[in-house]
Structure 1
Amino acid sequence: MKNILFVCLGNICRSPMAEYVFRDMAAQRGIQAACKSAGTSGWHNGETMHCGTADILDGMNIDSRDFVSSQVPDDCMQVYDYVLVMDDNNLRDMQKRFGKNPHKLFKITDLLPENSPHDHVPDPWYTGNFVQTREIVSQCCAILCDKLQKGEM
C-alpha cells in the first residue's frame, strides 16, 4: 500500500480537493493507497476546507465532512511514499525544509503529459475558479491511479 501526501499552501483548497478526489478514484478502482493533505503554511490549522472546495466535492458526491486542515508534518518524508505539491512555491518550500528528492517529492502536474498546458494547479483562493482546479486535479489523480495500478509508482 502506498501512502501519498498532497500539499498546497494553506490546506483548505487544492490539496484537500486532491486528497478526496484521489481517495474516491482509488476506492472505485480498488487501489490500495492511503492519502492525506497538508499545507506548508499552517495558517488554517484546525479549520474546515474552503466552501468552494467543499461544494465541488459535494457535486462529485464525495463526502468531505471529516476534513480538518493541518500543516506538513516533520516526518512526512519518512511516512509518505510520494509527496505531491500543487505549484513551484510549494515545491520550493518543501525542498527548503526536506531537501530535493525528485522521485518522492514533485509537482502533481508533473504527472500530466508533456504537451499539457498546466504546469501547476492554480490556487482558487486567488482565482476563484474551483472548477478549473477540479479539472486539473482530477486529471492528475486519474493518471496517478493509472500509474499505481500499472506498478509504475
Structure 2
Amino acid sequence: MVKKRVLFVCLGNICRSPMAEAVMRHQVELANLSERIEVDSAGTGDWHLGHPPHEGTRQQLDEHHISYEGMKARLVSSTDFDAFDYIVCMDTNNLRDVRKLLSKEQGEQAKLFTFMELLPEQGIEDVPDPYYDGNFPFVFELVESGCKELLSRVQEDLN
C-alpha cells in the first residue's frame, strides 16, 4: 500500500504549521485515509522546541473540535526530505531556510512549495504569522481551505 507523508514548516512550529498539521490530520481522518496519509510539522527556528502549540492556535482548533493532542514543536532537519513526499512551507522565508538544508538530489525528490501556492485566488504570498498580529481566525480560514486543496492533490497521487 502506497503511503504519502506531508510536512508543514513555519518559523517556530507553534502557530501556523501545527495548526495546518492538526487541520490536515482532521481532514485526512474524515476522508478515512489515516492509514495512507501521515502528517507532521516542524519549525526552522529552535526557540520553542518541545512546546505545545500556541494558545491562539489551540483556541482555534478547540473551537472547531480538532485535536492537537501530543503535538510538540520540533526543528526541521535534512532527514525530513527523505521521509516526506510534500514539504509545505507557510511562507517564503521558511521556504528559503528549508532550501538551505537541501542537497540538490533531495530538492528534486521533495515536493517543496509554499502553502499559499495552494490558494492562488487569495492573492497573497505568505500565510501571515499570527504570533505577531494575533489574527488566528484568519490564519485558520486559510489553513482549512489550503488543506482541502492539498488533500485533493495527495489523494490524486495515491491513485
Return the letter of the residue paired with 1:36.
Answer: D
- 1:19 corresponds to 2:31: no
1:55 deviates by: 0.5
User: What's 1:62 paired with?
Assistant: 66
- 1:50 corresponds to 2:57: no
User: What's 1:137 paired with?
Assistant: 143
1:151 deviates by: 3.0
Residue aligned with 2:40, SS: strand
Give the alignment of 1:2-41 within 5 angstroms: 2-31=4-33, 32-41=36-45
1:149 deviates by: 2.3
Structure 2 portions without partners, runs of 5+? none
RMSD after superposition: 1.7
Match of 2:116 among 86, 109, 113: 109
Residues 77 and 101 of structure 2 are in contact (CA less than 8 Å); yes or no, is this contact kept in structure 1?
no
Return the letter of the residue paired with 1:67.
Answer: M
Which deviations, in whole Å up to 9, do the C-alpha atoms of 1:106-146 show, x marking residues without a partner?
A: 1011112x332232110000111000110111111000111
CA distance in 2, matches of 1:14, 1:95: 19
Residues 4 and 158 of structure 2 are in contact (CA less than 8 Å); yes or no, is this contact kept in structure 1?
no
Aligned length: 152
User: What's 2:156 paired with?
Assistant: 150
Return the letter of the residue paired with 1:147.
Answer: R
Q: Percent same amino acid among aligned pairs?
A: 40
CA distance in 2, matches of 1:151, 1:82: 11
Return the letter of the residue paired with 1:111.
Answer: L
Question: What's the TM-score once normalised by structure 1's chain length?
Answer: 0.92
CA distance in 2, matches of 1:40, 1:88: 12
User: What's 1:83 paired with?
Assistant: 87
Q: Which moved more, 1:97-106 or 1:75-84?
A: 97-106
Structure 1 runs, 4 residues or longer, greater than 4 Å off: none
CA distance in 1, matches of 2:51, 2:85: 26
Residue aligned with 2:122, SS: coil
Residue aligned with 1:37, SS: strand
Q: Which moved more, 1:45-54 or 1:62-71?
A: 62-71
- 1:96 corresponds to 2:100: yes
